Amino acid sequence: MQNKISDILIIGGGAAGLMAGIGAAKVNAGAKITVLEKMPRPGRKIIITGKGRCNLSNFKDWEDFSTHIHPKPNFLKNAFFNFSPEKTVGFFEECGLRTVTERGDRVFPESGNSKDVVDTLVSAAASLGVDIIAGTEIRHIGSNPDGTFSADSADGTKFSGKSLIITTGGLSYPATGSTGDGLEWASELGLGTVPCFPSLTAIVPKGYKATKDGISASGHIHREAPLSETGALLNGNRLKNISLRILIDGTEVYDEFGDIDFTDGGLEGPLGFKVSRKCVKAIINGSKVKVIIDMKPAVTLNELDKRIYALWKEINEDRRSRSRSREDRMRILLGKLLPSDLIRGFLKYRPVNEAAKVGKALKNWEMDIAGYVGYERCVITAGGISTDEVSAKTMECKKIPGLYFAGEILDLDADTGGYNLQTAFSTGRLAGESAARKISTLQ
Ligand SMILES: Cc1cc2nc3c(=O)[nH]c(=O)nc-3n(C[C@H](O)[C@H](O)[C@H](O)COP(=O)(O)OP(=O)(O)OC[C@H]3O[C@@H](n4cnc5c(N)ncnc54)[C@H](O)[C@@H]3O)c2cc1C
């Protein structure tokens, strides 16, 4: 059996792990730093981020940035200022990766290719002497009485380190390697974890999927579950500038403007994702969730009714209408009020056969939510290692000195917009730097 000794062992070669290695090497150039990654190549998840473009950061200042972090934004504050979005972008630019900032302060590589972000991280780490060992799955970790740590790989190799940084991610998109291994190790070490649930995911209206059997007790509806006829008619539509209200057990908890997408999963898009955290949590807790869409938020019901009345009159007075059924005339009316691709699905979900009732239907499209798409296709895992277990100043575990956590494994998640990767970079960098400083004092 091989035994490989390092100063700093990092398990998980994703955004947080690679940045931890870079941070550690920059602080302590002489330290032997090893990143262990179970997939054949590091950074597999980064490749699929931002639809292949990788929204790697967000340039908002802390006041604004922190409103997108859940559940305890203050835990991130120190890591954020230690390695801020400006410093992160500065790091990538210095490494030769040009970036662009788009609407909403979102930062992308100028090339529009997420692979460039991975390549930059890997070559920066390698040039600093960090040893990245891919294709190595760690099965078990141990905290030794002499204060060192061990990690046993699936092929029998034993790794050990004076410090151990765990950056194995959450549970979302398990095909990228993130299968929650680190969460199990933390429980074995007696550390507190906050129950995980999928976030930034599709929420599924009742009747949208054809299956009843596919819904688990917790409300999980597999992404691959087939669409119902209504779901198939709605799939592919984007509703722009609508207002979305969320009711949990009858109480309104959310009301915002924006865009939603009907997809093969359910309700997604910027607003859909934004509300998914609240909705999934409520469904898991056994609450009833309802969404109410107002497709004409800029006008009052009274104003809309007046407009509909005028349109209806015009349609009925048109000579061509004489040969048309009432149903056809209703479709013509809706065609003047809604995107044409939406009409059949809308009518199937919300049948309306009187012009006088159209205004209310458009401003008050209610949908009960049956469930949500799970880890198989969610963007982020909410929950994880309790931040009470970890020092916000160093990312070191309070109960086990020398052990650090960073990235999605922590009970720290964010909205879409580059906040999640920035969180992984900031916490990873701080964990790496802190571990390296500690090693320096021991040397
Ligand atoms: C489809 C999708 C799109 C996204 N788009 C964006 C975006 O544009 N912007 C943004 O900010 N965020 C985005 N995110 C979220 C972002 O990707 C994550 O928050 C971030 O990658 C988390 O980084 P991490 O290093 O903590 O974890 P991960 O990226 O999950 O890395 C963990 C690594 O640990 C390895 N590992 C796990 N277990 C072991 C083990 N036992 N032994 C060895 N290695 C192990 C895994 O293989 C993996 O490589 C997206 C996520 C998804 C799923």
Gap between the Cα atoms of 246 and 308, Å rounded:
27
Contact 130, 94 (CB under 8 A): no
Q: Which long-range contacts (CB under 8 A, 24 or more apart) does 256-265 make?
A: 257/297, 260/293, 261/237, 262/231, 262/234, 262/235, 262/236, 262/237, 262/238, 262/345, 263/202, 263/235, 263/236, 264/223, 264/227, 264/235, 265/201, 265/202, 265/204, 265/223, 265/373, 265/377
Q: Is 439 in the pocket of ligand 1 (CB under 6 A)?
A: no
Spatial CB neighbours of 328, under 8 Å, sequence gap ≥ 6: none
Alpha-carbon Rg for the chain, nearest whole angstrom, is: 25
pLDDT of residue 64 exceeding 80: yes
Contact 219, 281 (CB under 8 A): no
Q: Take residue 321 and report the two structure tokens written for it.
A: 């209408």
Residue 341 backbone dihedrals phi, psi, to 5 degrees: -70, -15
Gap between the Cα atoms of 238 and 192, Å rounded:
41
Mean pLDDT on 178-196:
97
CA 103 / ligand 1 centre spacing (Å): 24
pLDDT at 211: 74
CA 408 / ligand 1 centre spacing (Å): 7
Alpha helices (H) in 5-98, listed in sequence order: 15-27, 44-48, 62-65, 77-82, 85-94
In the block, which residue shows the tokens 């991130």? Answer: 76
All domains in the chain, ordered by first residue: 3-198+381-442 (3.50.50.60), 201-378 (no CATH)
Nearest 10 degrees: CA dihedral of 113, 422, 90, 440?
Answer: -120
In the 3-class helix/strand/coil scheme, how is 160-219 assigned residue by residue? EEEEEEECCCCCCCHHHCCCCHHHHHHHHCCCCEEEEEEECCCEEECCCECCCCCECCCC
pLDDT of residue 441 exceeding 90: no
pLDDT at 213: 60
CA 128 / ligand 1 centre spacing (Å): 22
pLDDT at 320: 86
**Most informative mutation of 178, 381, 415 for ligand 1 (most atoms within 8 A of CB):** 178
CB atoms within 10 A of CB 255: 12
Q: Is 12 in the pocket of ligand 1 (CB under 6 A)?
A: yes
Contact 424, 406 (CB under 8 A): yes
Gap between the Cα atoms of 105 and 304, Å rounded:
35
Distance from the first to the final alpha carbon of the chain? 28
Mean pLDDT on 287-295:
97
> Is omega for the bond preceding 195 within 30 degrees of 0, making it cis?
no
CB atoms within 10 A of CB 438: 21
Quick: pLDDT tens for 78-99.
Answer: 999 999 999 999 999 999 999 9
Spatial CA neighbour of 184 closest among 11, 37, 384, 45: 384
Confidence class for position 443, pLDDT limits 50, 70, 90: low
Query: Could you tell me what percent of the chain has a pLDDT over 70?
Result: 99
Q: Is 407 in the pocket of ligand 1 (CB under 6 A)?
A: yes
Atom of ligand 1 nearest to the CA of 139: 41
Q: Is 168 in the pocket of ligand 1 (CB under 6 A)?
A: yes
Assign 437 to helix, strand or coil: helix
pLDDT of residue 161 exceeding 80: yes
Gap between the Cα atoms of 437 and 25, Å rounded:
10
CA 112 / ligand 1 centre spacing (Å): 19
Greater confidence, 350 or 414?
414
Q: Is 384 in the pocket of ligand 1 (CB under 6 A)?
A: no
Alpha helices (H) in 235-300, listed in sequence order: 269-284
Q: Take residue 271 and report the two structure tokens written for it.
A: 């607003």
Confidence class for position 214, pLDDT limits 50, 70, 90: low
Spatial CA neighbour of 68 closest among 369, 238, 290, 270: 270
Quick: pLDDT tens for 21-45.
Answer: 999 999 999 999 999 999 999 999 9
Confidence class for position 134, pLDDT limits 50, 70, 90: very high
Confidence class for position 216, pLDDT limits 50, 70, 90: confident
Atom of ligand 1 nearest to the CA of 176: 47
Spatial CB neighbours of 248, under 8 Å, sequence gap ≥ 6: 278, 279, 282, 287, 288, 289
> How many residues comprise the chain?
443
CA 29 / ligand 1 centre spacing (Å): 26
Quick: pLDDT tens for 306-345.
Answer: 999 999 999 999 888 888 888 889 999 999 999 999 999 9
**Most informative mutation of 420, 423, 425, 429 for ligand 1 (most atoms within 8 A of CB):** 420
Q: Is 266 in the pocket of ligand 1 (CB under 6 A)?
A: no
Quick: pLDDT tens for 388-410.
Answer: 999 999 999 999 999 999 999 99
* Mode of pairing for the β-strands spanning 238-248 and 158-166: unpaired
The model's pTM: 0.95
CA 306 / ligand 1 centre spacing (Å): 51
Listed in order, strand segments (DSSP E) in 295-402 are 365-372, 380-385
Mean pLDDT of the chain: 95
Q: Is 37 in the pocket of ligand 1 (CB under 6 A)?
A: yes
pLDDT of residue 106 exceeding 80: yes
pLDDT at 322: 82
DSSP letters spanning 96-124: T--EEEEGGGEEEETT--HHHHHHHHHHH
